[in-house]
Amino acid sequence: MFFENHILQLNDSPCQGETCGFQGVTEEKFMLNRKLYFTQRGLAKLHQDIEKLEGKLRELQLQTTEVAETGGDQWHDNPGYDSLVIDIRGIDRRLSDAHQCLNQAILVKLPINLDKVAIGVRVKIFQDGEETILEIVGFGESDPDQDMLAYNTPLASLIMGRGKGEVVSGIIVDRQTEIKILEISKGGGECS
The answer to whether residue 191 is domain-embedded is no
SS3 content of the chain, % helix, strand, coil (to 5): 40, 25, 30
**pTM score of the predicted model:** 0.70
What is the pLDDT at residue 8? 41
Please tell me the distance from the alpha carbon of residue 89 to that of residue 93, in angstroms, as a whole number: 6
Give yes or no: residues 142 and 51 share one domain.
no
Give yes or no: residues 95 and 134 share one domain.
no
Domain count for the chain, please give it: 2
Domain hosting residue 160, numbered range: 121-186
pLDDT tens for each residue of 106-152: 999 888 889 999 999 999 999 999 999 999 999 999 999 999 999 99
What is the pLDDT at residue 120? 92
Please tell me the distance from the alpha carbon of residue 4 to that of residue 98, in angstroms, as a whole number: 23
Give yes or no: residues 76 and 146 share one domain.
no
Mean pLDDT of 74-83: 74
Three-state DSSP at 168 gives: strand
Other beta carbons within 10 Å of 41:
15
Give yes or no: residues 104 and 134 share one domain.
no
